[in-house]
Amino acid sequence: MMDLPVSIFNDVLGPVMRGPSSSHTAAAARIGQLARQLAGGKIQKAVVEFTPDGSLATTYHTQGSDIGLAGGLLGLSLSSPELLKSLSLAAQNGLDIQFHIRKYEATHPNTYKLSLTTSDSSSFSLTALSTGGGMIQITEIDGFPAEIYGDYWELLLYLPDTPGDISEQVKNSRIFQDISLENHTIHCRNQDHLIHLKFSQALEEKTIACITRQFNCNKYRYTSPVLPVTSGCRNRILFHTAAELENAFPKPDTQLWEMALKYESQRGNISEDEVWKMAAGILKIMRQAVQNGLQGTFYKNRILQQQSHLMENAAARLLQAPLINKISQYTMAVMETKSAFGTIVAAPTAGSCAAIPGAILGSADCCGFTEEDCIKALLAAGIVGVLIAQRSTFSAEVAGCQAECGSASGMAAAAIVQLMGGSARTALQASSFALQNIFGMVCDPVANRVEVPCLGKNILAATNGFTAANLITAGVNAVLPLDEVIAAMDEVGRSLPAKLRCTALGGLSVTPTSLAIEKQLKNLDE
């Protein structure tokens, strides 16, 4: 089994998207994009099945899995303004999409089972997982096991019963000597075989034709990456844990953003300048999300309309805590942009998208930090997110909201230490301190929407990160190393009852007021 190496811009600071949930809307869109490529022709019908035991059965509509999948099948990007009306666009384009809740064996709460029919009446099936923060994995295609994460160019060759050792034929084939074959696996089902080839560069049509002829395959499927950072044998992982990161410090006063720059450059086989530019681009989108929220947003089918302006309007009546109030206001503004289907950065998820921009940009505007300072802070937050993703999850369906807003709080703590010019070691201690405070945070969305109590939890994440950064910078002892805290956080999160892990079956989700609001909003849909 191949493990997908964690990337700052794949897993942590991204995707750039529209919609309420990265594990619903963005992940579904990526699954749809890959399914569209694998189909090799115009898709006329898609039957989508969710198991009643998982999270998606109760949340696929209200959290945008349906529009995300439809958008992906149509070839829309994750940030397309057309995404919101993708279901109607699908119908206009002759694409029949059906959603069903049916019992089947699933190993993950966010499992998609798709059966697709193309315009030439051919059909195929796939099973895919949304693993958190917009990341996905296709685990089965046409009954064959698969491992597609969207980080390679991938060619699947279907062969009838073939004599000889197919693996040796692949290894010895001269055609692969001049192209970037990274990995191959072979699967057998009855008398049929599937050769799964992964490449770190795109294949020309003539190359695909040559490969298919050589292996006498009766059909093939081909996909391009859907992630911003691709994988390959030249990609290196400099460290997997906080302890390994500290051992890699070139000097005692190394700052965390420097290690983030080195890590992502090696992980993505890209220059450090390119990593910096990507981070600057992410910061720009975050800044625009804050501004859009402050200017005012409107979306009929949501619980909360604009509230971020209330902080300034009531300034004379509030306790004098300008920085905390600015962070809170900016966090609210990003959440309002998200709930109005504006463009946001899932950092590390859409449900927790506001804590990090709120903390960084609120601090910058209140204290006079520069754009360069903010980019460094964002990179520091990103590398802490990498450490969390290496050993845990960003999926609330797996580990509750502590996996989302909790993780964001640890990342925000590191970012604020970086803004203050602190060392990487201090930033890691601040992350540890912040994460210790969020154990047991459940995911129980009111009315099955990613708004309440998500707004308050984002503000909590940002301000907890701020407090942790200040305390550790002052010399307070975090006691526990970050690696131990991440491991404990993961254990606690996975111990939460399923009804408190984004299923809308417990906690605030089932209060009388929540159910009444859900009914009101459902009427707006009709």
Q: Which residues contact 495 (CB under 8 A, 6 or more apart)?
A: none
- In tens, the pLDDT along 416-445 reads 999 999 999 999 999 999 999 999 999 999
What band does 3 get if pLDDT is binned at 50, 70 and 90? low
162 — pLDDT class (breaks 50, 70, 90):
low
The DSSP secondary structure of 276-313, one letter per residue, reads HHHHHHHHHHHHHHHHHHHH----SSSS----TTHHHH
The pLDDT value given to residue 160 = 81
> Considering only 46-55, 163-172, 478-487, which range has the smallest mean pLDDT?
163-172
Share of the chain above pLDDT 90, in %: 89
* Across 246-263, average pLDDT: 96
Would the pTM count as exceeding 0.85? yes
Q: What is the pLDDT of residue 169?
A: 79
Model pLDDT, residue 2: 45
Query: Which DSSP letter does residue 450 get?
Result: S
The secondary structure element, H or E, covering residue 50 is: strand 43-50
Would you place residue 164 in the very low, low, confident or very high pLDDT band (cuts 50, 70, 90)? low
The 10s digit of each residue's pLDDT in 93-142 is 999 999 999 999 999 999 999 999 999 989 999 999 999 999 999 999 99
Contact (CB, 8 A) for 344 and 353: yes
Q: ∠ CA 377-380-385 to the nearest 5 degrees?
A: 130
What is the maximal distance between C-alpha atoms in the chain? 82
CA distances 339 to 44, 298, 498, 525, Å, are 31, 9, 25, 15
DSSP string of 379-401?
HHHHHHHHHHHHHS---HHHH-G
Q: What is the mean pLDDT of residues 323-339?
A: 97
Q: How many C-beta atoms lie closer than 10 Å to residue 521's C-beta?
A: 17
The pLDDT, as a whole number, for residue 192 is 87
Q: Which domains does the chain have, with CATH numbers?
A: 6-221 (3.30.1330.90), 242-521 (1.10.4100)
Q: How far apart are CA 63 and CA 50, in angstroms?
A: 14
Phi, psi of 155 (to 5 degrees): -120, 125
- Please tell me the predicted confidence (pLDDT) of residue 235: 86
Residue 477 burial class via C-beta count within 10 angstroms: exposed 0-12, middle 13-18, buried 19 and up: exposed
Q: Can you tell me the distance from the alpha carbon of 173 to that of 184, in angstroms, rounded to the nearest whole number?
A: 12
- In this prediction, residue 416 carries a pLDDT of 98
Counting residues of the chain whose pLDDT is more than 70, the rounded percentage is 99
Model confidence at 10: pLDDT above 90: yes
Provide the mean pLDDT of the chain: 95
pLDDT, residue 175, reads: 83
Q: What is the mean pLDDT of residues 248-268?
A: 96
Residue 216 identity (one-letter amino acid):
N
Q: For residues 309 and 312, give the distance between their C-alpha atoms in angstroms, rounded to a whole number.
A: 6
Q: Which amino acid is at 515?
A: L
512: helix, strand or coil: helix
Query: What's the helix, strand, coil split of the chain in %, to 5?
Result: 50, 15, 35
Cβ-based burial of 316 (10 A; exposed 0-12, middle 13-18, buried ≥19)? exposed
What was the pLDDT predicted at 351? 97
Cβ partners under 8 Å of residue 164, min gap 6: none
Pairwise CA distance, residues 253 & 113, whole Å:
50
pLDDT digits over 18-73, tens only?
999 999 999 999 999 999 999 988 899 999 999 999 999 999 999 999 999 999 99
Q: How far is 82 from 247, CA to CA, in rounded Å?
A: 47
Has residue 289 got a pLDDT over 80?
Answer: yes
Average pLDDT for 140-160: 95
Output the six-digit token pair for 471: 């305390």
Helices 256-268 and 424-436, axial angle in degrees (round to 10) = 90
> Nearest-CA neighbor of 63 among 483, 451, 436, 409?
451
Range in 22-26, 40-44, 155-159, 484-488 with the lowest mean pLDDT? 40-44
CA distances from 323 to 314, 320, 329, 363 (A): 15, 9, 10, 6
* CA distances from residue 383 to 7, 40, 246, 293, 348 in whole angstroms, order as listed: 9, 37, 12, 27, 11
pLDDT at 172 over 80: no
Q: What's the pLDDT at 191? A: 80
Name which of 244-248, 286-290, 520-524 the model is least confident about: 520-524
Token pair for 117: 């029919």
Q: What is the pLDDT of residues 335-349, one digit of tens each?
A: 999 999 999 999 999
- Spell out a b/e string for 203-234, using b for 16 or more CB atoms within 10 Å of the CB, else e: beeeeeeebbeebebeebbbbebbbbbbbbee
pLDDT greater than 50 at residue 1: no
Locate 40 and state its tokens.
């090799």
